[in-house]
Homo-oligomer: A and B are copies of this chain.
Amino acid sequence: MSLLLNDRFLKACLGEAIDQTSLWLMRQAGRYLPEYNATRAKAGSFLGLATNPAYATEVTLQPLDRYPLDAVILFSDILTVPDAMGLGLKFAAGEGPTFEHPLRTEGAVKKLRVANMDELKYVFDAVSQIRKALIQDGKQRVPLIGFSGSPWTLACYMIDGSSADEFRHAKTMMFSRPDLMQHILDVNAQSVAAYLTEQVKAGAQALMIFDTWGGMLPDGWYQTISLAAIQKVIALLPREHEGRKIPVIMFTKGGAIWLNDMAQVGADVIALDWTMSLSRARKQLLGINKPLALQGNLDPLILFSEPKQIAAQANLILEDLASAPTLKAGLHPLDGHVFNLGHGISQFTPPESVTALAEAVINRSRLLRAKS
């Protein structure tokens, strides 16, 4: 177990008191950073970058060198898992990811097997190397977050091949062949659980499950299709490693309407997009006796405004939560919150905007904590 120089993020996830609000950003290592683009150019392609542990390590740490962030997240892609199941991931120029062998027939679905973790060794190697690279004077600068797509979100890409058609084929299979969908979800849940477990063994200190497409499911189906599969995954995860708890963050984009259901899934942290205020979410969770931490929820497009406007919007989020009840006795209302965006940062974001955001989160969250 390495000593952490900065454990704000882990404490926020676990609902412990901290001095200032912890901050990281979804997709913080990405195309809005010139240094990322330089490494990607060296790697030749996105997949060249993601499959090379040295490059993946390099880009994972880049945002930490630029901004006062409280965590880094493994640089990878959610589609590495179906790729390891033999679906043939490729990135066509300017078109986003596609699979060469999408699951469109009963035969293809029935042949699907749990991903072979040996084929994902490059990911676990990246995790180990990132952990090493985070050491400074014998101590670890910030914790490393591992992640995976949710079983349903992976199924969306696996069946449709790409996001071009709003996952019409995935939803159609769900409605018309629930038996096939259940098989895919079961295989995916086992694959995701194995994948995240290996990430923890390699050094991931928190885990995030991205349910990017759960929000497009009908009420009722969300619970039995996406959430049930996430619950299976979480039940299989190691919750402690190297003597530390491994918090699990779950995020269904567009899922705030199902907050009470999400609270039952076994996660430590619920990540929210910007459609529900944190104070409303806090009150609702306390109302059902589920004092879970929250992550979120700034609209990433606010980062296209002037620094003053960015600060004003970040402050609003903090002030709203500061007005809510505390998670537990003895905490400040701002404890139990990981500041983040409600979706990945846009590739067009001016890098200076993140500086403004970080300053605002640090300053205002310290001020609000000092006041009360």
Contact = CB atoms under 8 A, between A and B. Distances in A.
A301 interface: yes
Contact of A301 (B172, B254, B316): B172
Nearest to A316: B220
A215 interface: yes
A299 interface: yes
Contacts of A274: 217-219
Contacts of A316: 220
A29 to B, nearest CB: 21
Contacts of A276: 219, 257
A12 interface: no
Contacts of A256: 257
Nearest to A258: B275
Number of copies: 2
A257 B276 CA distance: 7
Interface string A248-278: 0000001011000000000000000011110
A339 to B, nearest CB: 15
Interface residues of A, number: 32
A46 interface: no
Interface string A276-311: 110010000000000000000101011011100100
A91 interface: no
Contact of A215 (B275, B277, B346, B348): B275
B304 A218 contact: no
A265 to B, nearest CB: 17
Interface of A: 168, 171-172, 175-176, 215, 217-220, 222, 254, 256-257, 274-277, 280, 297, 299, 301-302, 304-306, 309, 313, 316, 342, 346, 348
14 contacts: A168-B346, A171-B299, A175-B301, A175-B302, A175-B305, A175-B309, A176-B305, A215-B254, A215-B275, A218-B299, A219-B275, A220-B277, A220-B316, A257-B275
9 residue pairs, one from A and one from B, having the closest CB atoms? A218-B274, A176-B305, A172-B304, A171-B301, A175-B305, A219-B277, A218-B299, A257-B257, A175-B302
Given A175-B313, A176-B309, A218-B342, 19 more contacts: A168-B346, A171-B299, A175-B302, A175-B305, A175-B309, A176-B304, A176-B305, A176-B306, A215-B254, A215-B275, A218-B274, A218-B297, A218-B299, A219-B274, A219-B275, A220-B316, A254-B275, A256-B257, A257-B275
